[in-house]
Amino acid sequence: MSASAAPGIVPEPEDSRLAAANLVVGARLFASAMAFVFMAFVFAYFYLKAVDSNGLWRPSHVTPPQGYGIAILVCILGATAAFELARRGLAAGAGSVAMLALALGLSVAAVVLQLIAYLGGMSFGADGGGYASVFYGWTAMFLAFWLGAVYSVETMLATAMRSAREAAAADEAVEALQPSADATMVYLYSCAGIAVLTWVLLYLIK
């Protein structure tokens, strides 16, 4: 329970930089938690591969769709790079809308490609053994986390467009965007790292 404010008392306003610091720390912690989610999948991958129950870790017909795998990875890395350029442009006081739009386009493309792969590009089902289980579970989980990245990038783009229209000065637009940009960057880098790991373990290693 909390009491009402005493009449006449106006607390000091909060420093705006506090919220920015919170966002970056929060993003780092969230990335740590996300890393542990995928650590469980990495463990499952190596554990089931080592156990190879009934010789069904990876039957010969189970091959991942290499083309989709590379295309999805390229989209994710491209989106991350575009966002980094947008963030640097923002810090330098330059416009960031075009790069943010590119980042959003690429991040959405990664989602669409993954969905297309699920619907028609797979040569095996989820019941195709240990590897198939890990493949479907891992990629679907990554897709869910990547949707979070899509949301973040879209929010940044929308804020940038609104700021460009409404902000009285360029400084104001930067102030509105920079804290979220730093936090989103942390998240995107984490996702990109996991995407590379995904590709190496699920697509590259036989």
Partner 1 sequence: MSTTESPPPTAITKAPRFREQLIGFHLLWGVVLAALGYFVCHWLGTKIGNHIKGQTATDQDDIAVLLGFLGATLGWLIGLGFFNYPLSRMMGRPASLIEGEEYGVWRYFRLCTDHKVVAVQYFVAVLFFFGVGGLNAMLIRGELTSDNATFIQAGNYLTLVSLHGTMMLMMMSAGVLGPLGNYLVPLMIGARRMAFPRVESLTLWLTVLAGFMLISAIFLGGFPTGWTGYAPLSVEARAGMDAYLFSFALIGISLCLVGLNIIATVMTMRAPGLYWNRIPVFVWGMVTTSVLAVLAAPVLFAALYMAALDRTVETTFFLASNGGSPFLWYNLFWFFGHPEVYILALPGFGIVLEILPVFARKPLWGYRVAVAGMFGVALLSFMVWQHHLFVSGINANLRPFYMFTTELISIPTGIIFLIGMGTLWRARIRFTVPMLFCLAFFFNFLIGGLSGVYLSDVPSNVTTHGSYFVMAHFHYTIMGGLVFATIGGFYYWLPKITGFKLNETLGKIHFWMMFIFFNLTFFPLFAAGLLGMPRRVSSYNPSLHGLNVFVSISAWCLGLSLLVFLANIVWTQLLLREPAGPNPWLSKSLEWQLPSPVPSYNFERIPVINSAPYSYGIPDAPPVADFGTPARLPGGPAITPEGGVL
The verdict on 123 binding partner 1 (CB under 8 A) reads no
d(CA 157, CA 99): 9
Residue from 97, 116, 175, 196 in contact with partner 1 (CB under 8 A): 175
Helix axes 66-91, 170-198, angle to 10 degrees: 160
Using CA atoms, how far residue 154 sits from 16, 57, 77, 182, in Å, is 23, 39, 17, 15
Nearest approach, Cβ of 28 to partner 1 (angstroms)? Answer: 9
In terms of CB distance, is 76 or 134 closer to partner 1?
Answer: 134
Between CA 140 and CA 23 the distance in angstroms is 26
Cβ closest to partner 1, residue 25 vs residue 200: 25
CA count, 13 A, side-chain hemisphere, 49: 13
Region of 90-98, 102-110, 176-184, 190-198 interacting with partner 1 (CB under 8 A): 176-184
Among 60, 127, 168, 169, binds partner 1 (CB under 8 A): 127
Residues 6+ apart with CB under 8 A from 183: 23, 24, 26, 27
Within residues 8-67, the interface with partner 1 by CB under 8 A covers: 9-23, 25-26, 29-30, 32-34, 36-41, 43-44, 47-48, 51-54, 56-58
Specify the DSSP element, H or E, that contains 71. helix 66-91
Residues that bind partner 1 (CB under 8 A): 1-6, 9-23, 25-26, 29-30, 32-34, 36-41, 43-44, 47-48, 51-54, 56-58, 125-127, 129-134, 136-137, 141, 151, 154-155, 158-163, 175-176, 179-180
